[in-house]
């Protein structure tokens, strides 16, 4: 084959002029696809998480009174949330806001990742290290009219544009009324 024998190291001028145009076309296509994939994946992860939590809030409500007795009913990531609700929430809310955000991410990120993994099948579309939880609206279990759960998540995406380190953030928010029995 010619490729094996030949060793010329030159580029045609015409090709040099056309290639960048082609490159721009391909890169912009990749960028658009990347953004839309992440947009879809993030919004489904966020809405799925809130839906699942809202639907399974009843045991948490029971748990609110009697934690030890019902703990076997709940999948592990949710158990962490419940424990957090019981033991840590008040003390963390009182401390610094920054610390609160850290704890928020530590507790709710595994939860969100849990639903990312469940929904995307074998392909991993979202990278956990680029994902941050912005805001969590916790349901008020003592006041039923304000029993709403919500998550706002942010995904950091570096665009593949040469010479520019352009970073964009994709934000998604989802709110859901929780079901806590009649």
Contacts of 138 (CB under 8 A, 6+ apart): 85, 89, 149
Nearest approach in angstroms of CB 9 to other proteins is 4
Q: Is the dihedral angle over the CA atoms 168, 42, 126, 153 positive or is it negative?
A: positive
* Residue 122 near other proteins by CB under 8 A: no
* Residue 8 near other proteins by CB under 8 A: yes
Q: Are 111 and 49 in contact (CB under 8 A)?
A: yes
* Residue 129 near other proteins by CB under 8 A: no
Of 7-15, 99-107, 127-135, 137-145, the window that binds other proteins (rule: CB under 8 A) is 7-15
For the record, the structure tokens of 166 come out as 């352009």
In DSSP terms, 136 is beta-bridged to 151
Interface map 133-172 toward other proteins (x if CB under 8 A)? -----------------------------xx-x-------
Alpha-carbon Rg for the chain in angstroms: 23
Contact set with other proteins (CB under 8 A)? 2-20, 23, 27, 162-163, 165
């Amino acid at each position: 084959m010619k490729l094996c024998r030949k060793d010329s190291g030159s580029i045609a001028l015409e090709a040099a002029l056309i290639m960048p145009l082609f490159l721009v076309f391909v890169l912009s296509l990749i960028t658009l696809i990347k953004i839309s994939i992440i947009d879809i994946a993030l919004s489904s992860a966020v809405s799925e998480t809130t839906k699942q939590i809202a639907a399974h809030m009843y045991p948490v409500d029971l748990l609110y009174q009697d934690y030890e007795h019902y703990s076997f009913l709940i999948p592990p990531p949710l158990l962490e949330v419940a424990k957090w609700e019981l033991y840590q929430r008040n003390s963390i809310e009182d401390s610094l806001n920054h610390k609160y955000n850290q704890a928020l991410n530590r507790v709710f990120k595994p939860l969100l990742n849990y639903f990312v993994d469940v929904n995307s099948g074998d392909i991993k579309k979202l990278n956990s290290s680029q994902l941050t939880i912005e805001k969590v609206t916790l349901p008020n279990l003592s006041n039923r009219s304000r029993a709403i759960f919500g998550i706002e998540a942010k995904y950091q995406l570096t665009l593949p544009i040469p010479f520019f380190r352009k970073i964009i953030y994709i934000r998604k928010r989802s709110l859901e009324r929780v079901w806590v029995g009649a």
